[in-house]
Structure 1
Amino acid sequence: MDIKFGFADTPRELVIRVAGDQDEHLQRVNDALANNTNVELEDEKGKKFIVRTERVVYVELGSSSQHQVGFAGV
């Protein structure tokens, strides 16, 4: 699942691909935004990210279900 952060005063976005439950990540991000604290995330490759929430304008959480690729099983 991808988590995309948009920041104030910059056109760039931060996209982090994480494993786990969408609801769990949504709760962590909501808590950090509500309390104006940092949110710590670990991507699928083990890299750790600390995001300061004071400049976050929006957060987009992708679907936690796997999408089928190709034409088989339609």
Structure 2
Amino acid sequence: MDIELGIQNVARAVTFATDATAQEVSETIERALASGEPIELTDNKGRNFIVPASALAYAIVGSETRHAVGFNNLE
């Protein structure tokens, strides 16, 4: 799943892919915003992303749908 985090006063968004579900990511962000703690997420390569909750401008949590890759037999 693709994640995009917009950070206040930063021109480029932080984008990465994670194996977490949309619900897990949303709950992590919501807990951090409610408590004022940093948002901590891990991508599918094992890298950790830590963003101060107060600096988050927006979050886009992508679709969990996996798209098929390959060629179709078109007749």
The answer, yes or no, to whether TM exceeds 0.5 is yes
> Residue type of the partner of 2:7?
F
Partner of residue 61, structure 1:
61
Query: What is the root-mean-square deviation of aligned Cα atoms in Å?
Result: 1.7
Q: Which runs of 4+ in 1 moved over 3 A?
A: none
Report if the CA contact (8 A) 1:18-1:43 is conserved: yes
Would you say 1:11 and 2:7 are equivalent positions? no
Q: TM-score, normalised by structure 2?
A: 0.82
Correspondence for 1:35 = 35
Q: What stretches of structure 2 of length at least 5 have no aligned partner?
A: none
> How many pairs align?
73
Q: Is the 8 A contact 1:20 1:64 kept in 2?
A: no
Over the matched positions of the two proteins, sequence identity in percent amounts to 33
| Unaligned ranges ≥5, structure 1 | none
Judging by fraction of residues, say which structure has more strand.
1
Residues 5-32 of structure 1: CA distance to partner in whole angstroms, max 9, x if unpaired?
1111222111121102111111111111
Opposite residue 54 of structure 1, the aligned amino acid is S
